[in-house]
Copies of this chain bind each other. A is one copy, B any other.
Amino acid sequence: MTKLNPNGKAFTELVLEVFRLNGRLLEAGDRLTQPVGLSSARWQILGVVEHGPITVAHVARIMGLTRQSVQQTANSLEKEGLIEFLENPHHRRSKLMAMTPEGRKALDYTQEQHAVWANKIGEEHDLDCLRAAVDVLRQVSKSLSHE
């Protein structure tokens, strides 16, 4: 029977905290976005599309999700007029997602709400500690990506 060593134990605690925090963050995100008919998932995609027309598959790669998952959300965003699919000169089937004025408006609202919220929560914590934690999470993420 293998036992957890100190590092293994600390990593395990990190895992549990990530799960718990993830839940709380999704909840907060949904609350932030709900007034304009968004949600955490839809907001994240809109936040990528904001930087310029991009394909579904590309967004999936950036966000670490599956193509199909992003496709579903994208289709739903299009149906509600928050994004539109533009012809892609480089690929006939793979259309480019682009923001519509309505999408822009919804995202503007959400980003404003987010900034207020993030500043408030951020100020409750030490800047260096926050940054150090981000670094650790990035390193761990990297560890997991090529295991």
A121-B129 Cα distance, complex, nearest whole Å: 22
A25 at the interface (CB under 8 A from B): yes
Of B22, B121, B133, which is within 8 A of A143 by CB?
B121
**Contact at A115–B10, with CB atoms within 8 Å?**
no
Of B11, B116, B122, which is within 8 A of A11 by CB?
B122
- Chain A contact surface mostly: helix
Set of chain B residues within 8 Å of A63, measured between Cβ atoms: 20
- Closest B residue, CB atoms, query A145: B24
A37 at the interface (CB under 8 A from B): no
Looking at the assembled complex, report how far the CB atom of A143 sits from the nearest CB atom of chain B, in whole angstroms: 5
**Contact at B125–A2, with CB atoms within 8 Å?**
no
User: How many chain A residues have a CB neighbour from B under 8 Å?
Assistant: 60
* Interface 9-mer from A70-78, A82-90, A94-102, A134-142: A134-142
Of B19, B115, B121, B147, which is within 8 A of A22 by CB?
B19
Set of chain B residues within 8 Å of A130, measured between Cβ atoms: 7, 10-11, 14, 136
**Contact at A23–B65, with CB atoms within 8 Å?**
yes
Query: Beyond A115-B3, A132-B136, A136-B133, is A121–B21 a contact (Cβ under 8 Å)?
Result: no
